[in-house]
Structure 1
Amino acid sequence: MKKLFSLLMLAILLPLQACAQEVYTEGEHYEVISDKATDKAEVLEFFSFWCPHCHAFEPLVAQIKSKLDKNVSFEKVHANFMAFTTKDIQDEATKAMMIGRALKREDALNKAIFNYIHVQRSQVTSLKDLENIFIINGVDSAEFEKMASSFGVNSLVSKNNKALEHYRKHLGGVPTFIVNGKFKAKFTRNMGPDDMVDLIVWLSKQK
Structure 2
Amino acid sequence: MKFFKQVLAAALCSFAVGAGASPAAPSAGAEYVVLPEPQAVDTGKKVEVIEFFAYYCPHCYALEPALAAWVKKQGDNIVFKRVHVSRGQSVLPQQKLFFTLDAMGLLEQHHQKAFEAMHVQNNPLRNDEMVFNWAASRGIDKRNFMATYHGMGVAAKLRRTDRMMADYRVDYWPMLFVDGKYMTSPAEASRRIKPEPTEEQQHANALQVLDFLVAKAKAEKK
CA shift, 1:155, in A, is 2.5
Whole-Å Cα distance in 2 between the matches of residues 97 and 61 of structure 1? Answer: 17
Whole-Å Cα distance in 2 between the matches of residues 111 and 146 of structure 1? Answer: 23
Whole-Å Cα distance in 1 between the matches of residues 72 and 212 of structure 2? Answer: 13
Runs of at least 5 residues in structure 1 that lack an aligned partner in the other structure = 1-21, 82-86
- Among candidates 64, 69, 76, match of residue 70 of structure 1: 76
The amino acid that maps onto 1:200 is L
TM-score by length of 2: 0.71
CA shift, 1:183, in A, is 0.7
Matches within 5 A, 1:170-181: 170-171=170-171, 173-181=172-180
Matches within 5 A, 1:13-162: 23-34=25-36, 36=38, 38-39=40-41, 40=43, 41-70=47-76, 72-81=78-87, 87-162=88-163
Query: Sequence identity of aligned pairs in percent?
Result: 22
Structure 2 residue matching 1:204: 3-state secondary structure: helix
Moved more, 55-64 or 102-111: 102-111
Length, aligned pairs only: 179
- Residue 211 of structure 2 corresponds to residue 201 of structure 1: yes
Whole-Å Cα distance in 2 between the matches of residues 74 and 42 of structure 1? Answer: 6
**2:182 corresponding residue in structure 1:** 183
Q: Give a deviation string over 1:184-204, Cα, whole Å, max 9, x none.
A: 112214555444223213312
Q: Give a deviation string over 1:91-126, Cα, whole Å, max 9, x none.
A: 221111011101222133222221111111222231
Structure 1 residue matching 2:162: 3-state secondary structure: helix
Whole-Å Cα distance in 2 between the matches of residues 38 and 125 of structure 1? Answer: 33
TM-score by length of 1: 0.76
CA shift, 1:57, in A, is 0.5
The amino acid that maps onto 2:48 is E
Runs of at least 5 residues in structure 2 that lack an aligned partner in the other structure = 1-23, 218-222
CA shift, 1:151, in A, is 2.6
Are the structure 2 counterparts of residues 91 and 192 from structure 1 closer, same or farther at C-alpha, using a change threshold of 3 Å?
Answer: closer
CA shift, 1:144, in A, is 0.7
Whole-Å Cα distance in 2 between the matches of residues 134 and 174 of structure 1? Answer: 25
The amino acid that maps onto 1:182 is K
Structure 2 residue matching 1:70: 3-state secondary structure: helix
Whole-Å Cα distance in 2 between the matches of residues 37 and 158 of structure 1? Answer: 17
Are the structure 2 counterparts of residues 143 and 121 from structure 1 closer, same or farther at C-alpha, using a change threshold of 3 Å?
Answer: same
